[in-house]
Amino acid sequence: MKKLGKTSVCAAVAGVVMCGGVAVAGETYDAKGVGVGEAKSTVFPISKDHVVVLNSSEFASFTVEQSGNPFNGAKGPCFGLIEIKSGSTTGGGRCILADQAGAQILITWTAMETAADGTATGVWNFAGGTGKWKTATGGGRYSAETDTEKKTVTNSITDSFQLD
């Protein structure tokens, strides 16, 4: 297994954070926030300029800036596969998070770029869930930075979502 700087797209998507408070149907929420968790990814070198990353992260919590945001405190696993070949990044995965009340949140993420330092960036979107998250829409961009020595991941997310 080879060390790959700071690579983990973990969840890119998982970054949507929830704050305590009551979610209101039809309301739009700002998703700007940060998720922090444990990085468990495995890197498979294929050749000099080609690697595949089996991505796995366990987010302890997402924290969003907007007060009363129902995504604040969301936690859970993110997983997927990223391929980096000749400087081009492809791949994606899912996050299955739980909000503070225990409702499930399904998020998809798509890797778009990996910087020289290993920071992975891409897009995330809601894909379903339970309770108030069943019909959630929206998403945004993410930037996931992994510290391979500490085995931690910090996933910054942006944009917005709506609970219908």
Residue-range domain boundaries for the chain: 12-163
CATH, domain range 12-163: 2.40.350.10
Average pLDDT value over all residues in the chain? 86
Write out pLDDT tens, residues 53-95: 999 999 999 999 998 999 999 999 999 999 999 999 999 999 9
The per-residue pLDDT for 26 is 77
What's this model's pTM, rounded to 2 decimal places? 0.83
* Residue given tokens 């909000």 in the structure block: 99
CA distance 32 to 135: 20
Q: Are 82 and 9 in contact (CB under 8 A)?
A: yes
What is the C-alpha to C-alpha distance for residues 133 and 150, in angstroms, rounded to an integer? 32
What confidence tens digit (pLDDT) does each residue in 20-53 have?
Answer: 344 555 789 999 999 999 999 999 999 999 999 9
Contact yes or no for 39/53 (Cβ under 8 A): no
The strand pairing partners of 36, in sequence order, are 61, 154
Paired tokens of 2:
């080879």
